[in-house]
Amino acid sequence: MNLIKQLVDKIFFATGVILFLQLPHFIDQYTQRVGGYSESQNQQLDKYLSIATNGYDGNIQKLIESFKNSKDEAIRKTGENIEEVQLDVRDLKEELNVLETEGLFKKILFLTTHTRFDLAKGTLKSFQPGVPLNLWTFVYGLFGGILFSMFFNGVIFLPKKMIQKRQLKRSRTFAS
């Protein structure tokens, strides 16, 4: 019985390591996708800046206001779209700074509140398991293995301890 328990414990540990190694790899792939999206948004904004340079003294805010003040609803929506692209470019720059420069744990914390779910969904759809080769990834994988092993041992030992306590309590009650 002890041999089986040890084997299952090792399987849980290995499963935890493998699963926890995938999160850093997913974050790397997600970062690449965000980078591509950022480049696309920058190219779109550059086109609007070119229009602003030719007709609005290089001031994109004047271009946006001109569009937003139009009587034509489609042109107003275009102004709103340009403004959204401008804000998105700024936000993406900040996001990429964190995703490309910070450590794994800061990235994970950052993504709990700043995930672009459309990009994450696309990343997950094309995700290929792998192992990024760096120290923090291995530390994180080891953490996952230990966590899974502790979970397994807790599931096995907790009920056993509770039963032993109950039996001890009963034996003390009968002994009195």
pTM over 0.85: no
**What is the 8-class DSSP label of residue 129?**
-
**Which tens digit of pLDDT belongs to each residue from 107-162?**
999 999 999 999 999 999 999 888 777 787 888 888 888 888 888 877 767 666 67
**Which tens digit of pLDDT belongs to each residue from 23-48?**
889 999 999 999 999 999 999 999 99
Computed on alpha carbons and rounded to an integer, the radius of gyration of the chain in Å comes to 27
Amino acid at 94: E
pLDDT score of 118: 95
pLDDT score of 105: 87
Label residue 1 by pLDDT band (50, 70, 90): low
Q: Where are the domains of the chain?
A: 2-175
140 vs 154: CA distance, rounded Å: 21
Alpha helices in 56-134 (DSSP H): 60-68, 73-101, 104-114, 117-125
137 contacts: CB under 8 Å, gap ≥ 6: 21, 24, 25, 104, 131
DSSP H or E run through 72: none
Report CA 129 to chain centroid distance, whole Å: 15
